[in-house]
Structure 1
Amino acid sequence: MRIVLWILIFIGTFLIMEFMAWFTHKYVMHGFLWSLHKDHHHKNHDSWFERNDAFFIFYAIVSMSLFYAGANGFWYGYPLGFGILAYGVAYFFVHDIFIHQRFKLFRNANHWYAKGVRRAHKIHHKHLGKDKGECFGMLFVPFKYFKK
C-alpha cells in the first residue's frame, strides 16, 4: 500500500508543480522578482547563465530538503522531492533545451504538440517587459496554439 501511495504522491507532486510553475512565472517572475527574470526575456549579457536560473536553484533546494526529510523519517519527503525533481528535469528539457535551444538538440521536431508549445512560448516572449506576457505551464498549454 505504501508503494501505491508513494506513486500517487509523486504523480500528484509532478502535476502540482505545473501549477506552481505557472503561478511562480505569472506572479513572482513577472511580479516582485522581475529583476531576476527579465534577462530571460531581454538578454543583455554574454553569459550562458542567466539571473533567471536562480529559480532553478530555489526548487532544487526545496527538493533536496525533502530528500533530507525523507532520510530522517518523514517518508513523504522522498516522493515529494522526486516529484519536484522530475518536474524540474522535464522543465529543463522542454523549456531550456527544446524551446530556448541552450543545447542544440531537438531542433527539427515537427510534431503538432511540439510546434504548439514552441508557438505559445514565442507569443509569451513577444513581450519584453514585465506586463502583458501571457503565462502558462509546460504541459497544459492553451489549445489555441495547436494548429495543423
Structure 2
Amino acid sequence: MENSIWINVLAFLTSYFAMEGVAWATHKYVMHGFLWTLHESHHQPRHGVFERNDFFFLFYATIAMVLMYFGWEQLDFRFWMGLGVTAYGFTYFMLHDVFIHRRGKWLDKLDNSYFRAMRKAHKVHHKKMGKEDGEEFGLLLFNKRHWRVNQD
C-alpha cells in the first residue's frame, strides 16, 4: 500500500479517537462553563424535539467541513481528519442522543456490560442539575466503577 494511504488512515483514526478528549474538555469547560446558557437545556426536561444544547453540533460540524474542504482536492490527511470528526459526531449522536436519551428507538435492544456502564455514567452526570460539581463528561470513556456486574 502507498505510504499516503497509511497517513490518511492514521489521520482518520487519530482524529476520531482524539475527539473523545475534545468532547470531554468542551463538555467540562465550555458547556459547563461560559456557554452553560446553551447547555443548561440538556439538564432539564425536554419540550419538543430540539433543545438549545443541540446547537453545539454546529461547532464540530464546522471544524469537520473546513478540514474536508481544504483536503478535498488531493483527498489528503485533512479530508480524512474531517471525516474522523464527522464519524465521531455520528457515533456521539447515535450513542448519546438515540441510545442514552432515547431520541429514537433504533438502539433499544443494544445491551451489554459496556453500554450499561455508559448509561450509568451518563446518569451520574445528569444527577447534578446545575453547572457546578459535575462528573463523567465523556461518552466512550468513563470511570471503571460503572462497570459493576449488577447494574440497575
- Separation in structure 1 between the aligned mates of residue 47 and residue 77 of structure 2, nearest angstrom: 42
Unaligned runs of 5+ in 1: none
For 1:87, the equivalent position in structure 2 comes to: 88
Report the count of equivalent residues: 147
For 1:34 and 1:110, locate their aligned partners in 2 and report how far apart those are by CA, in whole Å. 32
TM-score, scaled to structure 2: 0.91
When the two chains are superposed, the root-mean-square deviation of aligned CA atoms in Å is 1.4
Equivalence for 1:76: 77
> Given the alignment of the two structures, is residue 19 of structure 1 paired with residue 21 of structure 2, yes or no?
yes
Q: Give the superposition deviation at 1:145.
A: 0.4
2:50 alignment counterpart: 49
| Distance (whole Å) between structure 2 residues aligned to residue 136 and residue 38 of structure 1 | 14
Letter in 2 for 1:146: W
Alignment check: 8 A CA contact 1:31 1:130 kept: yes
Q: Is the 8 A contact 1:14 1:83 kept in 2?
A: yes
- Length-normalised TM-score, structure 1: 0.93
How far apart are residue 138 of structure 1 and its match?
1.6
**Structure 1 residue 71: Cα displacement:** 2.3
Identity, in percent, stands at 44
CA displacement 1:48-74 (0-9 Å, x = unmatched): 111111111111111111111112558
